[in-house]
Structure 1
């Protein structure tokens, strides 16, 4: 099974950096026992043609109790393009999926290019018309080739002028909708991924309801069409932001730094807190800053956020002495070996009165029945003991308070863990 990417344009070499793969070598990794390879068929100044493909390990398939036995009707393939395929290649395509290449190439992440995507075989009970209905509203020209000896097994060719990030995110949402054999339990983590990858296009798709039903497959997780709210409870993202906002409100700060603010969803809540006179919404992505600016234009604030480019890799004296410094789901996106230097910058140079950190609780992935990390760009995910030990090690001059956020499992705790650090010469929370 494979996914191929082709483009002809003057920025072809820049796109290879979006993919974060060296054209001079073949990328090869073992993922859950299966071989994942990424190779360039052609790489010139104005043309790129590459494929990522998986060679399954038959022993691994047997060990998984035939969970991957989804293509018995295909004679020449052990494995079809499916949710399983996506789970195996997600890490290899993580940089492209998240639009976070090296800084000098970040401008290309949001640019549209003429792409052709080919993938297959895909097993689907959907008709060709239904498949076209999934892709054509997004601007794709669709070609469907059916295997002669397997009517439901098809190869798709898609053409569109689109950013690589958006196209891959659409592929990662729509392939599971087409897949007859969605193999893993769907819970809040999958809903978050659907929200993240679908932002900006899924809410206006004419088959939106069908996509949600096929992608999530559990009624309690579907959107209520009447009021656009979740039927069961707020999403984990919402609960996380609300918990942080309540915590910050109780601290009565004047200056707050929302570092890694992304598109500004948390900053919108923080900007309603009356005590705050200065709120910095900081992110290293110019694309995120532009989306933040657009989002803020639609809101009224007690304190208007200051949108600012910034990174934890560079010191900015404007952040020194802040009352509250927030790292909401940030540290897991940083290589572990770089974290001590970053924490030294925050705790010894900036010296905030309070530092609030949230990160996934890896133990809770068992509740989700996930065998991978929750996000393609995560460098690590810690259990509760690991997180607590790390906090104690990197913040010796701070008192620590730990909380869980989200639905609590008796054995595995909450899906998100939060540490509130208070400098010892500050008032306790």
Structure 2
């Protein structure tokens, strides 16, 4: 198995291309050999000139070593363990070699040329055989968003018999201007993803590897859910944990990234931690909640947001609650866990989301399931059946509505349904400057129609409150910056005039 990395010296650069050897910590003047658990890795330089330098990683894979130590009772024990494509195709074995042979480069360390380690270099990476059952389009889909120009050529099953068609192997060439550490991280994560399998046992340490080498790019990748599932071999518990941690980085609900449902005991423990200080008081405790820990890390913004909403509902003395725009039921299942809420109704326009929510509700104990229901409905159309509830929640909903239709939503919720209290959360656009994965002018979610600053949210809330007879107060949710505010902004509307609510 062969991997080549080529660097071309940019025009006007003071350093020679052969400085690639410093970045890789491998001397271009000699061949170096490294023993691996599965064989031997060689590093050599077919070319090392001032204008262009190419480093080659050659793996000699011993199929016998791959199965050494496995018992005959192992379910995968077969001749396929000895006769397979591992010696010839790029797979997780290449990732292991990158981490062991090019470990310093992968972590971006270079004592001799530290400035070069932080420089984007003109790179060309070539792999003669990459297993990829999704074909060239799949390789394009995972590498192109990272800044690579992708040339993926399907290899024929047998050149002597063209009528047999193409195999599921590609000759892959990547060209781009990136830091070497980033390029190696892309290969480390994505080669096993394209292959769809790993040669070693997966445990929770794989999540840390995925997030460590996916830092700065995976959370914003359009195929992040698919990449995560493939990298973790579809192990549901690992996939969910990884997606939940990615959601923290991107201010998303785990469900939006396709995470499987949490274990109910883990969920209860996390919620109990995040809601500490919310028992019957106002939402002002949110700031302190960010210091609560769940295991070795604090609760995610999504958890803090739900905790803040529940705290606001408790502070309003709400018993019968509407979750408007409930989605797949993330908030519903936490509301139903609190016996203080006697009736909970989720409303959403998406049939698919409601089906998922219903499945989750069916798994609840009967005494809880009797208190919650879901129904389809558009929040821009009044529904008489929603009137008379103590409180309504619009959690991360308004920013998904086209501005010209906000007036209809306002009438439906504040005018027609007219609950005693309405809790609204929405992103604070000012805080977006602190998210490394967001470029200027972009939103946190592709479906957002707008994202408001604190002043814009306050102006909208004040107008709505004055129109429909509600007082309003604001609270921060999540990490708070002294100048930019909190990541999420929350408003609690409390009805002040019964006459306006009945209008």
**TM-score for the superposition, normalised by structure 2:** 0.47
2:327·2:357 contact (CA, 8 Å) conserved in 1?
yes
**Which position in structure 2 is the counterpart of 1:134?**
193
Q: In the alignment, which residue of structure 2 is the partner of 1:423?
A: 495
- For residues 411 and 127 of structure 1, what CA distance do their matches in structure 2 show? 35
Q: Partner of 2:383 in structure 1? A: 316
Matched residue, 2:316 = 251
Q: Deviations over 1:361-410 (max 9, x none)?
A: 11111122322211111111111000000111122111001001011111
Partners of 2:481 and 2:229 lie apart in 1 by: 31
How many angstroms apart in 1 are the aligned matches of 2:172 and 2:402? Answer: 32
Where 1:408 maps in the other structure, the secondary structure is: strand
CA deviations on 1:341-364 (whole Å, 9 max, x unpaired) are: 210221111111111100001111
Structure-1 residue corresponding to 2:446: 376
Query: Which among 228, 236, 257 is matched to residue 197 of structure 1?
Result: 257
**How do 1:108-119 residues align onto structure 2 when only pairs under 5 Å count?**
none
Which of 343, 351, 364 lines up with 2:418 in the alignment?
A: 351
Check whether the contact 1:255–1:277 (CA below 8 A) recurs between aligned residues. Answer: yes
- With over 3 angstroms needed to count, the CA separation of the structure-2 counterparts of 1:71 and 1:296, relative to structure 1, is farther
Structure 1 residues 377 and 86, CA gap change in structure 2 (3 angstroms) = farther
Distance (whole Å) between structure 1 residues aligned to residue 407 and residue 418 of structure 2: 15
- Deviation string for 1:222-248 (max 9, x for gaps)? xxxxxx956320000001111111211
Q: Which stretches in structure 1 are left out of the alignment for 5+ residues?
A: 1-65, 89-117, 139-166, 178-185, 204-227
Match of residue 479, structure 2, among 407, 417, 428: 407
Partners in 2 of 1:389 and 1:84 — Cα distance? 43
Q: Give the 3-state SS of the residue equivalent to 1:312 in structure 2.
A: coil
SS state of the match for residue 322, structure 1? coil
**Equivalent of residue 307 in structure 2, options 229, 242, 246:** 242
User: Contact 1:325–1:356 at 8 Å: present in 2 too?
Assistant: yes
Which residue of structure 1 lines up, in the alignment, with residue 455 of structure 2?
A: 385
Partner Cα separation in structure 2 for residue 243 and residue 330 of structure 1: 16
CA positional deviation for 1:311: 1.5
Q: Who is 2:296 aligned against?
A: 231
Compared CA separation, residues 277 and 119, structure 1 to 2 (3 A)? farther
Q: Where do 5+ consecutive residues of structure 2 fail to align?
A: 1-115, 126-138, 148-170, 177-182, 198-221, 233-245, 264-292, 499-503
Residue from 281, 291, 302 that aligns with 2:356: 291
Q: Deviations over 1:198-245 (max 9, x none)?
A: 424999xxxxxxxxxxxxxxxxxxxxxxxx956320000001111111
- The one of 317, 327, 341 equivalent to 2:394 is 327
Task: Report the counterpart of residue 338 of structure 2 in structure 1.
Answer: 273
Q: State the aligned residue count.
A: 274
Deviation at 1:256, TM superposition (A): 1.0
Contact between 1:189 and 1:374, CA under 8 Å: does it hold in 2?
no
Please state if 1:336 is matched with 2:403.
yes
* Residue of structure 1 in register with 2:163 after alignment: none
Within the alignment, does 1:73 sit opposite 2:147 as a pair? no
Contact 1:325/1:354 (<8 A) preserved: yes
C-alpha contact (below 8 Å) 2:477/2:486 kept by paired residues? yes
Is residue 364 from structure 1 mapped to residue 364 from structure 2 by the alignment? no
Structure 1 residues 256 and 387 mapped into 2: Cα distance closer, same or farther (>3 Å)?
same
Which of 1 and 2 has greater Rg?
Answer: 2
Query: How far 1:318 sits from its partner (Å)?
Result: 0.8
SS at 1:406 equivalent: strand
Q: Deviations over 1:51-95 (max 9, x none)?
A: xxxxxxxxxxxxxxx9x98561249xxxx979996489xxxxxxx
Q: What's the secondary structure of 1:252's corresponding residue?
A: coil
CA distance, structure 2, for counterparts of residue 82 and residue 135 of structure 1: 11
Give, in whole Å, the separation in 2 of the partners of 1:336 and 1:119: 45
SS of residue matched to 2:122 = coil
- Structure of higher RCO (CA pairs closer than 8 Å, 6+ residues apart): 1
SS in 1 for 2:404: helix
Q: Are 2:251 and 2:301, in contact at CA under 8 Å, matched by a contact in 1?
A: no
1:282 alignment counterpart = 347
Instruction: Tell me the alpha carbon deviations over residues 2-56 of structure 1, each in whole angstroms, 9 at most, x when there is no partner.
Output: xxxxxxxxxxxxxxxxxxxxxxxxxxxxxxxxxxxxxxxxxxxxxxxxxxxxxxx
TM-score by length of 1: 0.54
CA positional deviation for 1:187: 9.2
Q: Distance in 1 between matches of 2:433 and 2:294?
A: 26
Question: Secondary structure of the equivalent of 2:322?
Answer: strand
SS of the equivalent of 2:462 reads helix
